[in-house]
């Protein structure tokens, strides 16, 4: 699941590398339309929102929270949650809602990039608290050398 997918290029790359499962992109309506257009031009396996069944392969581009919840629910413990700068640029109420969705709360892996401050929000505090709430995840946190004040946060579910 990708939160804030830009125009869809990461999705394109993941599919070029051979991924054939469900890929969900959640974004603003204008970006969801752009992703559908771009990925559609490439012949990518788009799934219309109204025809999306959880777990079916294909790409779902949506801006609806109920669709996101339904689409990610079956990905629990095996999916990946990707948010490159998008989550840290989102209002606190929406980000709190998104990170507590069952399919995201229990993802198998996380790839997040964020900036120290955006719109007065203390992003390091948010991500530190969020990491602390997920003890079953092994985290690697590092500042991006060529972008001071920006960080990568990688997480992987620890097998017992």
Lowest mean per-residue pLDDT among 72-76, 77-81, 125-129? 72-76
pLDDT of res. 42: 96
pLDDT of res. 74: 62
Stretch 65-75: mean pLDDT: 78
C-alpha R_g of the chain: 15
Tallying the residues shown for the chain, one arrives at: 160
Interval 6-55: pLDDT, tens: 999 999 999 999 999 989 999 999 999 999 999 999 999 999 877 767 66
CB atoms within 10 A of CB 71: 28
Reported as a pLDDT band with limits 50, 70 and 90, residue 93 is very high
Stretch 132-146: mean pLDDT: 95
Tell me the CA distances in angstroms from 129 to 3, 125, 132, one per residue in order: 19, 6, 5
Torsion of the alpha carbons at 34, 40, 41 and 43, rounded to the nearest 10 = 150
Average pLDDT, the chain: 91
Q: What is the pTM of this model?
A: 0.92
């Amino acid at each position: 699941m990708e939160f804030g997918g830009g125009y869809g290029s990461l999705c394109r790359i993941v599919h070029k590398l051979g991924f054939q499962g469900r890929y969900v992109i959640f974004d603003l309506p204008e970006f969801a339309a752009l992703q559908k257009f771009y990925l559609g031009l490439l012949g990518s396996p788009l799934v219309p929102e109204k025809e999306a069944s959880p777990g079916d392969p294909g790409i779902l581009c949506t801006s609806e929270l109920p669709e996101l919840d339904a689409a990610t629910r079956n990905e629990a413990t095996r999916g990946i949650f990707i948010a490159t700068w998008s989550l840290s640029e989102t209002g606190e109420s929406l980000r709190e809602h998104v990170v507590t969705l069952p399919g995201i709360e229990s993802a198998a892996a996380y790839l997040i990039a964020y900036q120290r401050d955006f719109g007065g929000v203390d992003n390091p505090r948010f991500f530190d608290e969020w990491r602390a709430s997920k003890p079953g995840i092994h985290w690697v946190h590092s500042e991006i050398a060529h972008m001071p004040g920006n960080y990568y946060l990688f997480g992987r579910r620890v097998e017992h």
